[in-house]
Amino acid sequence: MDKQKIIEYIFNNAQKEDNEEEIITAIEDAVNQIELARNFFENVSEPKLVDYAIYLEEAAKARYEFLLSEAKRRNIRVKQHNIIVEAI
């Protein structure tokens, strides 16, 4: 095998893993944003703030759905040890 091809292969694999990690991190962030919006909704009573909380949640959900579809399109899979389980 050509030395240059080996270097390109290693670089491309590392770049792919970085992109996958970015999407996984963005998905986790979107989930956190949904939770924050829901908590905000639960703690406001002013009608305009209620509307704003709903808007925040809908925006976070749209981002989450987009990121999930992008992960699916790229065939990104999460290894079991990367899954965080919440303690109940």
**Other beta carbons less than 10 A from residue 11's beta carbon:** 10
pLDDT, tens digit, 9 for 90 and up, residues 62-81: 999 999 999 999 898 876 55
Per-residue pLDDT at 1 exceeds 80: no
Per-residue pLDDT at 14 exceeds 70: no
- The one-letter amino acid at 15: Q
Please tell me the distance from the alpha carbon of residue 49 to that of residue 43, in angstroms, as a whole number: 10
Q: What is the pTM of this model?
A: 0.70
Please tell me the distance from the alpha carbon of residue 76 to that of residue 27, in angstroms, as a whole number: 12
Domain regions of the chain by residue span = 3-82
